[in-house]
Amino acid sequence: MGKSQSEKSASKKRSDADYAITISTGEEGIEAPVSMKVRGDNGTVSIPLTQTKGGEKSFQSKSKSEFTCQTTDVGKIQCITVEHNEKEKDVLWHIKTVQITKGSETYNFNADVRLDQKENKVNLYPVGTLFGHQRDDYVQSELRRLRESLRSESSKLRRPPHKPHEPFVYNDLRPYFDTSSVERAIYSPVTYPTGYYTRVTALRIVEPWEAYGMDYGVNYELLKHRKTRSLSSKPPPSKPTDESIDRKQGSTHLPPYPAVNMHKPPEYSQALTVDDIPKIRSLIKSRYSGAADAQKEKDYKRTHNDVYRMQLDHIDGYHEKSRGNMLRVYHSYLQNTPGSKQALRELCDQIAPKNTKTTVKSAK
């Protein structure tokens, strides 16, 4: 038997409730459309926060905005989600507290959170032991405080300029201040629906009894048994069957390096006395001081021929940003004697382009 029209309207009226919402804004306000989703025992309802109760402008800095709405009664409120639709990059909205009055029930939410373009919504839970969310609100408040602390500390890191021709070993320490795991913990629901292949566990936390067992539950008897077994199972060293074979000979034991036998004059192997000092000085003077000019000229010609033999004069074949480095390489590897230094300086001045000539001179 169907219900009458009056009974249907009475049943519909009983399912509605009057909501009085008060949002306290902190230092930064917002002028974008804001909506709120209220989740309770009987479902979820969405409430647009567009028109205030007194008709004034909503969400101004250091002010309170009051809204009234009559919509479906969700029962006992478990969680609310506040979201704005501002698309500008420099938007920042500081929500201090939220209060919802539904009939004779009053729900208080301590937010103290800032929303921007990237993070435009936040989940809030009622405060108080009556609703069973005091611990959840404290944990999420600590996570938000940790996020703000990490962001402020990471903003102090500045990437230093990379000096050319020097090693660059800068590390931004991103794994230490990455807040992705913290933000995931903040915005994930408290009662997350788990699948059949997972179980609810804390992130990077081990149960106390398991942690104690890992620290003090080492089985020393098992380690002793393993040590004894490893010593007893070690095979005895093998002995060569044929004693006449020299085990040090062969390509893998003693490779045949070439050795040059030099016949030294007898005066090189005898003991030196004070009377031999004049001979040594005259030998050094005749070999190094007297022949220094000849050796310098020899090194000059050798370096001059090496540059053209190895085709090092084709400096235009390298990229213009690498030519200065190649000239420095020439000086590092070929500039080892006075004669080679003079030859290399003249050749580099000839083959170096105009934009790298001064760089080579500074490298000398």
pLDDT tens for each residue of 204-222: 556 666 666 666 666 555 5
Asked which of 39-53, 54-68, 193-207, 271-285 is least confident by mean pLDDT, the reply is: 193-207
Has residue 258 been placed in a domain? no
Residue of 43 and 227 predicted with greater confidence: 43
Please report the pLDDT score of residue 67 as a whole number: 92
Please report the pLDDT score of residue 271 as a whole number: 80
Domain boundary among 80, 99, 126: 126
Domain boundary among 126, 153, 172: 126
Q: Assign 45 a pLDDT band (cuts: 50, 70, 90).
A: very high
Has residue 28 been placed in a domain? yes
DSSP 106-168: EEEEEEEEEE-SSS-EEEE---STTTT-HHHHHHHHHHHHHHHHHHHHHTT--PPP--TTS--
pLDDT tens for each residue of 235-262: 666 665 556 555 555 445 555 666 667 7
- Percent of the chain whose predicted confidence (pLDDT) is above 90: 6
Instruction: State which residues form the domain around 39.
Output: 16-126
Has residue 102 been placed in a domain? yes
Share the mean pLDDT of the chain. Answer: 75
| 277, pLDDT greater than 80 | yes
Average pLDDT over residues 12-24: 80
Average pLDDT over residues 33-37: 90
| 360, pLDDT greater than 50 | no
3-state secondary structure of 222: helix
Which domain CATH number covers 95? 2.60.60.20
Rounded Cα gap, residues 203 and 206, in angstroms: 9
pLDDT tens for each residue of 97-113: 899 998 888 898 878 88
- For the chain, the distance separating the N- and C-terminal CA atoms, rounded to the nearest angstrom, is 107
| 191, pLDDT greater than 70 | no
| 333, pLDDT greater than 50 | yes
Domain boundary among 126, 154, 169: 126
Residue 97's contacts (CB-CB under 8 Å, 6 or more residues apart) are 23, 24, 108, 109, 110, 111, 112
Q: Assign 130 a pLDDT band (cuts: 50, 70, 90).
A: very low
Has residue 238 been placed in a domain? no
Closest by Cα among 64, 121, 66 to 91: 121
Has residue 313 been placed in a domain? yes
Please report the pLDDT score of residue 99 as a whole number: 92
Longest CA pairwise span in the chain (Å): 139
Q: Assign 127 a pLDDT band (cuts: 50, 70, 90).
A: confident
Average pLDDT over residues 189-202: 56
Has residue 78 been placed in a domain? yes
| 13, pLDDT greater than 60 | no
Has residue 49 been placed in a domain? yes
Q: How many domains does the chain have?
A: 2
Has residue 287 been placed in a domain? yes
Average pLDDT over residues 159-173: 84
Residue of 162 and 244 predicted with greater confidence: 162
Within 10 Å of residue 330's Cβ, how many Cβ atoms? 21
Residue 179's contacts (CB-CB under 8 Å, 6 or more residues apart) are 147, 150, 151
Residue of 223 and 361 predicted with greater confidence: 223
Residue of 77 and 9 predicted with greater confidence: 77
